[in-house]
């Protein structure tokens, strides 16, 4: 475990106004760690602007203070102009500056630009970075940051950080879940978080159209390499048929991943304008961040992804399966050799 770089804590103490950022299509860790840090900065009497180029997904509007995340670029510019000497930016859970979104250049122009992240595939950007790939989540890092800054965690902050940690560890199931992760989660529960209430928001609160979509998506499952690779996909037609939206597919990849024989699950999502996005989840020794890198994506050892244009679902599935089969074979040979 690294100590938090002094450049990070000092910048936070010294500056008065903060622009908080995260990656596009944010997940629970991205939003929870961003809002949690906003709560911490509030307690320090700082001015905070939470910016995201798109509105917060319905799945996460239950987060305390989710409504303070703004998509108004003009309001962001006004905020920066008010205090042009004292404003700093902090990007959370964003492993690649391209994932800052369409205003990337404008956002990176804010100096100093701080980065707090835990992606294995992290690409350096910004002035000061605190990157720890062994951390379960950025939420866990924000908790440690609050301790280092000597700030008391409010109940809203605890709630946000718990959601961040809970979602990025698959509810404390992935192998990124360490004793420290559970210890921090325990501290957050001490501060008023109710795990059952959060689990209900995350897992027992879906629309009927989402379940209809799940039915269609699971019907696409194909198995390869002696059932060790399980692939599913979603098309625009399935969205129309079920009445669901693309954001409703969050969590679907857990189903092929749950197959006893599966070592890797693949989920191919058809977006608009021929764009495909691909999620990869591994169990055990496969490192899917390396596969994602081949397609200019990234992520963690057990969870990674990428986007691409100009290929069909069948084409990309065949390419991924070929790479994964080779990888699984290599892992198996290593085990026999050991
Ligand atoms: Mn994360």
By the CB criterion, residues less than 5 angstroms from ion ligand 1 are 29, 93, 138, 168
Residue 282 included in any domain: yes
Task: State the distance from the centre of ligand 1 to the C-alpha of 303, rounded, in angstroms.
Answer: 10
Q: What is the predicted pLDDT for the residue at 336? A: 67
The enclosing domain of 226 has a CATH number of 3.10.310.30
Residue ending a domain, among 203, 226, 247, is 203
- Is the same domain home to 178 and 247? no
Q: Name the domain count of the chain.
A: 2
> What is the pTM for the complete model shown?
0.92
- Is the same domain home to 40 and 80? yes
Q: What is the predicted pLDDT for the residue at 84? A: 75
Residue ending a domain, among 170, 203, 236, is 203
105, with CB counted inside 10 A (0-12, 13-18, 19+), is: exposed
- Is the same domain home to 70 and 150? yes
Predicted confidence (pLDDT) per residue in 118-149, tens digit: 999 999 999 999 999 999 999 999 999 999 99
Task: State the distance from the centre of ligand 1 to the C-alpha of 241, rounded, in angstroms.
Answer: 32
Q: What is the span of the domain harbouring residue 300?
A: 208-337
Mean pLDDT of 94-101: 96
- Is the same domain home to 259 and 138? no
Q: What is the predicted pLDDT for the residue at 214? A: 98
Task: State the distance from the centre of ligand 1 to the C-alpha of 40, rounded, in angstroms.
Answer: 19
Task: State the distance from the centre of ligand 1 to the C-alpha of 118, rounded, in angstroms.
Answer: 6
Mean pLDDT of 250-264: 96
- Is the same domain home to 301 and 323? yes
Residue 187 included in any domain: yes
Task: State the distance from the centre of ligand 1 to the C-alpha of 237, rounded, in angstroms.
Answer: 30
Residue ending a domain, among 203, 227, 258, is 203
Specify the DSSP element, H or E, that contains 119: none
Contacts of 215-221 with C-beta under 8 Å, sequence gap 24+, read: 215/242, 216/241, 216/242, 217/249, 217/252, 218/255, 221/256
On the question of pLDDT at 337 being above 60, the answer is no
Mean pLDDT of 9-21: 96
Task: State the distance from the centre of ligand 1 to the C-alpha of 26, rounded, in angstroms.
Answer: 9
- Average pLDDT of the residues of the chain: 95
Task: State the distance from the centre of ligand 1 to the C-alpha of 319, rounded, in angstroms.
Answer: 27
The enclosing domain of 197 has a CATH number of 3.90.1640.10
Task: State the distance from the centre of ligand 1 to the C-alpha of 273, rounded, in angstroms.
Answer: 27
Task: State the distance from the centre of ligand 1 to the C-alpha of 182, rounded, in angstroms.
Answer: 16
Predicted confidence (pLDDT) per residue in 143-183, tens digit: 999 999 999 999 999 999 999 999 999 999 988 999 999 99
- Is the same domain home to 77 and 143? yes
Strands, DSSP E only, in the chain?
A: 17-22, 47-51, 69-70, 87-92, 113-117, 128-131, 222-224, 229-234, 264-270, 275-282, 298-299, 303-309
Task: State the distance from the centre of ligand 1 to the C-alpha of 214, rounded, in angstroms.
Answer: 24
**Percent of the chain whose pLDDT exceeds 70:** 99
């Amino acid at each position: 475990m690294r100590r938090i770089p002094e450049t990070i804590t000092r910048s936070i103490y010294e500056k008065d106004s903060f622009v908080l950022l995260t990656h596009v299509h944010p997940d629970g860790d991205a939003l929870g760690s961003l809002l949690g840090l906003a709560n911490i900065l509030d307690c320090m009497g700082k001015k905070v602007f939470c910016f995201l180029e798109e509105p917060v997904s319905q799945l996460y509007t239950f987060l305390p203070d989710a409504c303070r995340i703004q998509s108004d670029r003009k309001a962001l510019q006004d905020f920066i102009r008010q205090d042009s000497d004292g404003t700093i930016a902090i990007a959370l859970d964003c492993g690649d500056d391209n994932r800052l979104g369409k205003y990337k250049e404008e956002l990176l122009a804010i100096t100093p630009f701080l980065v707090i992240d835990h992606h294995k595939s992290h690409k350096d950007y910004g002035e000061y970075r605190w990157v720890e790939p062994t951390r379960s989540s950025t939420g866990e890092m924000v908790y440690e940051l609050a301790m280092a800054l000597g700030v008391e965690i409010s109940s809203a902050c605890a709630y946000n950080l718990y959601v961040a940690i809970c979602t990025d560890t698959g509810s404390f199931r992935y192998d990124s879940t360490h004793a420290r992760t559970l210890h921090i989660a325990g501290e957050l529960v001490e501060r008023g978080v109710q795990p059952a209430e959060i689990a209900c928001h995350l897992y027992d609160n879906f629309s009927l159209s989402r379940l209809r979509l799940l039915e269609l998506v699971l019907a696409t499952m194909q198995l390869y390499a002696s059932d060790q690779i399980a692939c599913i996909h979603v098309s625009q037609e399935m969205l129309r048929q079920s009445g669901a939206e693309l954001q409703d597919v969050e969590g679907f990849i857990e189903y092929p991943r749950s197959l006893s024989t599966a070592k890797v699950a693949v989920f191919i999502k058809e977006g608009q304008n021929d764009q495909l996005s691909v999620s990869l989840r591994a169990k055990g020794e496969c490192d899917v961040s390396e596969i994602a890198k081949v397609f200019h994506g990234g992520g963690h050892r057990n969870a990674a992804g990428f986007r691409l244009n100009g290929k069909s679902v069948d084409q990309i599935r065949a390419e991924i399966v070929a790479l994964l089969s080779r990888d699984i074979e290599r892992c198996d040979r290593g085990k026999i050799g050991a």
